[in-house]
Amino acid sequence: MEFYITDVCGSSSQRSAWVPYFDDVQAILFLAPLTFWQSLDENPNIDCVQAPFHLWREIVGNPLLAKTALILLFIEKDVLQGHIEAGMPVKKYVPDFGDRPNDVASVTKYFRDKFLAYHRKFSPEPRPFIFHETEAIDTKVAAIILGEVEGQIIQNHLKDLDVIHT
C-alpha cells in the first residue's frame, strides 16, 4: 500500500485555500504539541492553548472531511515531562486545568478529553476517536500510528463497498 503524506502546517490565514483539495483524503494525522506554554511562530499573540482546539474543531466539523479518519497525536510528551519536573505549574498557562494534579498523565487526560468533546460534538458523521501520545523521537509509536492509518483506510473502503456497517 502506498501512502502520500502532505504537511499542511502553514498559517491559519491559508487554511481556506488548501481545505478544498482534501475532499478525498482518507486519513489526517493531527499533531498537537504538548508545549502549550510556547507562543505560535505565526502570531505570538494567539493563545497557544486554544489554537489547536480551534483547528481541530474546523477539521472535525468540515463536511468535506466527514468520512476521513482522524488520528490525534500528542507530541513532545518528554518535553512536557521535563517542564513539569522543573516545577512549571500547568494552571498558570491553562487556567481551566484548575486543581488537577500537576503531572503528565493529568495534563494529557485533560487535553485528550477536550479534543474528544470537540470530536463528538462537531463530527458530521460518527467516527472513531483515535489518539496516541509520543515523545520527540519514538519509532515504535510511529509504526503503531501507520498501522492505525492503514486499518482506518481499509475499514472506510469496506464501509464504502457496503461490506461492513459500524
Q: Give the chain's radius of gyration (CA, Å).
A: 17
Segments forming the whole domain that contains residue 110: 24-160
The per-residue pLDDT of the chain, averaged, comes to: 81
pLDDT band at 142 (very low <50, low <70, confident <90, very high): low
- Residue set of the binding site for GTP: 136
Q: What percentage of residues in the chain have a pLDDT greater than 90?
A: 25
Q: Does the pLDDT value for residue 132 go beyond 90?
A: no
Q: Is residue 106 part of a domain?
A: yes
Residue 1: all three cell numbers together? 500500500
Element at 23 (helix H, strand E) = none
Quote the number of domains for the chain.
1
Which CATH number covers residue 131?
3.40.50.300
Please enumerate, by residue number, every residue annotated as part of a binding site: 136
Query: 53-109: per-residue pLDDT in tens?
Result: 888 998 899 898 888 888 898 888 888 899 899 999 999 888 899 999 999 999 999
Identify which of 68, 49, 64, 48 has the alpha carbon closest to the alpha carbon of residue 15.
64
**Cell numbers describing residue 6:** 502532505
Which secondary-structure segment (H or E) carries 116? helix 104-122
Predicted local confidence at residue 105, as pLDDT: 95
Lowest mean pLDDT among 7-11, 13-17, 100-104, 121-125: 7-11
Mean pLDDT of 25-40: 79
- Which pTM value belongs to this model? 0.76
- Cell matching residue 154: 481499509
CA–CA separation, 13 vs 36, rounded Å? 21
